[in-house]
Amino acid sequence: MSIGNVLNFYYAVLFSKRKLFGPQEFRLWSHIFLVLCVVALSLDPLFCYILVLNDDHNCLGLDRKLGTVAIVLRCIIDFFYILHIICQFRSRFACLSSKVPEIRAEIRAIPWRCFLFYSLVDILVILPLPQVLIFSVVPKLNDSRFFDAAESLNFIVVFQYVLRVIRICSLLKKVARTSRILAETAWANLFLYLLASHVVGAFWYLFSIERKATCWREACKRHDITYCSLYCDDNFGPGTFLDDPCSTDSTVFHFGIFTDALGFGIVDSADLVQKISYCFWWGLQNLSSLGQGLQTSTYVWEIYFAAFVSISGLVLLASLIGNMQTYLQLKTARLAEMRVKEQERDYCMAFYTLPHDLKKRIKKDQWREDIALTMDKFFLSLPKDLRRDTKRYICLGALRRVPLFDTLDEQLLEAMCDILKPVIYTKESHIIREGDSVDGMFFIMRGMVFSRERHGFFSVCLKAGDFCGEEIIATLDPSSSSHLPISTRTVQAITLVEAFVLKADDFRSLVSQQSQGRPLKHNFRFYTQHWRIWAACYIQEAWRHYRRKKLEESLRKEEILLQEAVDKAGGSSSSSSQSLGSAIYALRFAANALGAIRHNARPRLFHKPSEPDISIE
């Protein structure tokens, strides 16, 4: 997913005239926002590394290069957050009036109270409080104001990070409800483990600097220094008298779990990669060991931080083990189910001592039913979003190849993919029989099908990409007396056929929610086999009618000419009696031929297919 695709999507949501979006777009929206939250969770800890210590002058400084990078990245993330908030409110009001039930269900699944709460969380998250605090307050850190600013910085960073965690937990819960990818793989949990290590290490670094500054302040009080600025750019900074009481070997001030950060020079290192790597390793090590190696001082907030590290490691480890158990249980259950089904089938056939050819037919038919049932169970077992994407990938191309649906709305086609069901037919099995009711439209994905009528005129061979059973569109006619149309042809599988069926009831329920009646009716008349063959017959009959008219006119002219010749011959001498007889004979032949043409001029046009009155709004 590139940044360009994300921008195009938000542009479509904000500025497109089409205000309603399908379930697939809502899922894309959720995935984009989930990625934004994960990226924000990974970037926010960088603000903890902006403060650095200068042990040579015993003062605090700023890593302005890292600060600039962190602010730019934070502004980019906040920009997408603002777009998300605007799109969220815009689509919330627009989609409540949608006619697609899935869209309404997606929106109404989130109550107004939860919607407003998460919107407030998003607004609080994008407030640029850490940037303002670090670059506006830190340069004035001296005496008691340092601790006010330090406590404010800690509170703001932790508070905004907790809000981000709450937001991403709600998104992960939604994704886990519609997708089992997070539940059936260890990669997602491993990423969360690594991300938690990165976050814990960053806060450990920030709290180490705070403890060092606390030691400096207490040393200033012991030496009765009224102005003790801790900022390196201030000319009135503290002196070298702070070296001994604030060293890691001092017995005056205990640094507890922050001793390593101060003793190994992590907090005063200019190497950003070194700082982040060591802090990440510290977090990973203590999360994995559940904080067993942490030796805290008596400082209360240090004890709480160590307890948080221990509990977080326990929760992450339990989540990883639980998801692995779920994956193994599902895999074992599938294997056991397949083994039991195969044993039951073999036992039944052996018990009844069936002949070999009958066993073969049963296995063949049972295989077809098992495959169809397995495919159906396969789609039903998939998470909601994955099932939609899979069906769209398989079926949307087939639906678009059907000229009958080329003018339908994209949302309607996507919703149609969701209600398609997989079916399989073995060789020489009947899909539709003449005289039976047609309860579905079949889209052939693989194999060949032969469609014929009883007299053999309507005969056509269908292959992958073709369809049959288009008579179900007649169910859209509100004046139709029959619930399901009657088939006038037999459709039989020539080879093994894999197809998807669109049930008539589902089709009527879906199309009734859209204003697609007029284009659907036009396409039905233009592209279905019955109408196209009837149109061809109509053209042929019109041509025959034209030929008959021309022949009648020609014979009529000859009859008139012969009649005139007879009249002239009647007034002449007897020498023309022979020619008169020939003329009379020709006149009778022309009259008989004309009568035969008129007698045989019966309409040969086949019965015109019924035209549904699609007036659904």
Average pLDDT over residues 39-52: 84
466-497 pLDDT per residue, tens: 888 877 776 665 555 556 778 878 888 888 88
d(CA 6, CA 22): 17
Dump pLDDT digits (tens) for 188-203: 777 888 888 999 999 8
Residue carrying structure tokens 């599938």: 334
Q: Any idea where the domains of the chain sit in the sequence?
A: 3-323, 383-527, 548-600
H/E stretch holding 421: strand 421-425
383-527 carries CATH number 2.40.50.100: no
The CA distance from 449 to 494, in Å, is: 5
Highest mean pLDDT of the ranges 19-33, 53-67, 174-188: 53-67
- The larger pLDDT score, comparing residue 197 to residue 218, is at 197
In the prediction, which pLDDT does 569 show? 61
Model confidence pLDDT, tens digit, residues 279-320: 999 999 998 888 888 888 888 888 988 999 999 889 888 887
Percent above pLDDT 70 for the chain? 57
CA–CA separation, 170 vs 109, rounded Å? Answer: 13
Q: Which pLDDT does position 614 carry in this prediction?
A: 46
On the question of pLDDT at 503 being above 50, the answer is yes
Q: Compute the C-alpha angle 380/384/388, nearest 5°.
A: 90
| Structure tokens that stand for 458 in this block | 């309507």
What's the number of CA atoms in the CB half-sphere (13 Å) around residue 11?
6
Better pLDDT: 351 or 557: 557
Q: What SS3 string covers 357-395?
A: HHHHHHHHHHHHHHHHHHHHHHHHHCCHHHHHHHHHHHH
Task: Select from 301, 66, 324, 80 the least CA-distant residue to 193.
Answer: 324
For residue 230, which phi and psi values (nearest 5 degrees)? Answer: -105, 10
Confidence at residue 352, expressed as pLDDT on a 0 to 100 scale? 47
Q: How far is residue 126's CA from residue 144's CA, in Å, rounded to a whole number?
A: 29
pLDDT digits (tens, 9 = 90+) for 229-270: 666 765 555 555 555 667 766 666 778 888 888 888 888 877
Query: What pLDDT, on the 0 to 100 scale, is given for residue 103?
Result: 55
pLDDT score at 311: 92
Indicate the average pLDDT of the chain.
72
- pLDDT, greater one: 470 or 111: 470
Helix axis angle, 101-108 relative to 23-43, nearest 10°? 30
**DSSP bridge partners of 442:** 468, 501
pLDDT of residue 166: 81
Query: Mean pLDDT throughout 67-75?
Result: 84
For 8-29, what is each residue's pLDDT tens digit? 655 555 555 444 555 556 666 6
Looking at per-residue pLDDT, the higher value among 177 and 192 belongs to 192
